[in-house]
Chain A
Amino acid sequence: MTNQQLQDLINPWFENLAFTEEATEFLTVTVPKEKLHDLAEKLKSNSKTQFDYLFCETGMDWGEELGVIYHLRSTTHGHEMVVKVTTKDRTTANLDTVCDIWKTAELHEREIHDLFGIKFNNHPNMEVLILPPNWDGYPLRKDYVDEVNMIIR
């Protein structure tokens, strides 16, 4: 399916979906965080979309908002799209997990939890993966400061 056809198909599913194709090659949809899990499930199960392959899950810090970017591909249809979700809450940031839909997300979400401090609800094991257990702060956030280990030019 082309990006336009995908957009026409997905748009009526939920309210408040924001589509954009600006400055990126993928069709990008920003979804409210309450709808993330429902949308993800539908994107995978719908026979016309069948996004069954989560090939990249990226944590993001946009300054005011934290969020996650999901890059999806369908191994049957070959089309691709991007789902974005954001949260304004920086102290107790939490999003729904998608690891029951795409199993690879389990490890990716643990990495994002370590480095961005986003907690994933319903995740089976939210323990630290990459950082030492007593690490202070979230290194990939933009406001993270480490005067000893970071080289800033």
Chain B
Amino acid sequence: MDYEAQIKKNQFRTEEYKINMGPQHPATHGVLRLNLTIDGEIIKRVEPDLGYIHRGIEKMCEYDSYPQIIHLTDRMDYLSSHNNNEAVALAIEKALEIEVSDRVKYIRTIVGELTRLASHQLWWGVMGMDLGALTSYFYGFRDREVINDIFEETCGARLTMNYSIPGGIRYDIHKNFVQRVKDFIVHFRSKLPEYDQLLTGNIIFEKRMKGVGILSKEDAISYGVSGPVARASGVKSDIRKIKPYSAFAVQDIDFKEPIYTEGDAYSRYKVRIDEMWESMRIIEQLVDNIPEGNIKEPTKAVIKLPKGEFYQRVETARGELGVYINSDGKKSPYRMKFRSPGFSNLSALEDMAVGSKLGDLVAMMATLDLVVPDIDR
């Protein structure tokens, strides 16, 4: 019996009321606040209230030099920190017309794909935890630790790497890098099927995910969603295919863009699992033939971009990150805008959630993979 009929039969008088989810809610993974209007358990409205971690990064950029800006960007989406750094570095290189060596491009792409893997591993772990399956959390973090160790050795940091700089990368890769990446791939190829065994085929898990939070293809386009959320709704949106950058522009790398058409939480989950396999394939094709070359092209001590507008996109673990630089020829940008994937993806949440039950909202938020500092900036 459906909800409305049940109310009629039992002669309940229901009324709408507001509850507050967050900013300190474990399922929001950060300080996101949602003002919910609910009737019983049915969601009537979702109003996000942002700004709890708004640091004014765009304003700070207007007073910082370009190399300094790089350090701010990995504080946005801290799980895709390398991709964020790369986006700004590529934008600056585009403006200065610097062509970096193939070595830099290959290393950037390998580190970028490792970042994506680490982000998806963390997402998979905490998503299981959100839905009440704590085991996945330990599996995800166990494998992510291996990647973080590789980063620590080569980049000097585990989370906020600051590895890409305008004109190249900060240091050459560590002598163990190639071997450790290969070891990791062997390790993770044997561990990723465990992820499937634990959750993907689990009947309880499937019941919580299938048919939940459906986003149609038309709405996905209209809401400007990108990344795995768009691909789960059947929208091809991979920047690595649309506007190839770094090693994707040098070598014809063989990888698939996983596309599902259901648009529900389960297909968003499947897209990310597939992406992990594809990321490993990309790394395997690159890691053995990193060419020799300079790790940094010379830049002036004070970097000044020519007048004009520059736009650069990269595919982070969450989707399309756009960096818009409006330069007036000085050492700081006149205006800097980050088109963060999380902000646009969040705009689709209300559309997904209205009419479904409160418990399903957690599954929707988990599969949107929101990172709140990325939304607030």
Contacts and interface: CB of A to CB of B under 8 A. Distances in A.
Interface of A: 22-26, 28, 52-56, 58, 60-61, 69, 71, 75, 78, 102-104, 106-108, 111, 125, 129-132, 139-140, 150-153
Given A56-B322, A75-B235, A130 B242 contact: no
A125 B344 CA distance: 17
Contacts of A106: 347
Given A25-B311, A103-B347, A107-B347, A151 B222 contact: no
Interface stretch (B97-105, B117-125, B177-185, B301-309): B301-309
Interface in B208-236: 219, 221-226, 235-236
B71 interface: no
Given A71-B322, A131-B51, A132-B51, A52 B222 contact: yes
Contacts of A125: 47
Contact of B322 (A55, A103, A108, A132): A55
Contacts of A69: 324
Contacts of B351: 103
Nearest 10 Cβ contacts at the A-B interface: A23-B308, A104-B224, A130-B51, A56-B339, A107-B347, A24-B309, A58-B337, A103-B222, A104-B223, A104-B347
Contacts of A22: 308
A129 B222 CA distance: 20
B347 A56 contact: no
B310 interface: yes
B307 A23 contact: yes
B26 to A, nearest CB: 23
B309 A56 contact: no
A24 B222 contact: no
B221 A52 contact: yes
Interface of B: 47-51, 54, 56, 58-60, 63, 219, 221-226, 235-237, 242, 306-311, 320, 322, 324, 326, 335, 337, 339, 343-344, 346-348, 351, 376
A102 B308 contact: no
B interface, over-half SS: mixed
Given A104-B223, A130-B50, 15 more contacts: A22-B308, A23-B308, A24-B311, A53-B224, A55-B226, A55-B344, A58-B324, A58-B337, A58-B339, A61-B335, A75-B237, A102-B222, A104-B222, A107-B48, A131-B54
B346 A107 contact: yes
Nearest to A63: B334
Of B225, B306, B337, the most chain A CB neighbours within 10 A belong to B337
Given A108-B343, A139-B56, A130 B306 contact: no
A53 B225 CA distance: 9
26 contacts: A22-B308, A23-B306, A23-B307, A24-B308, A26-B311, A54-B224, A55-B226, A55-B322, A55-B344, A56-B311, A56-B337, A58-B324, A71-B339, A75-B237, A103-B222, A103-B348, A103-B351, A104-B222, A107-B48, A107-B347, A129-B49, A129-B51, A132-B51, A139-B59, A150-B63, A151-B60
A43 B346 CA distance: 25
Contacts of A25: 310-311
A139 B59 CA distance: 8
B310 A24 contact: yes
A80 B309 CA distance: 15
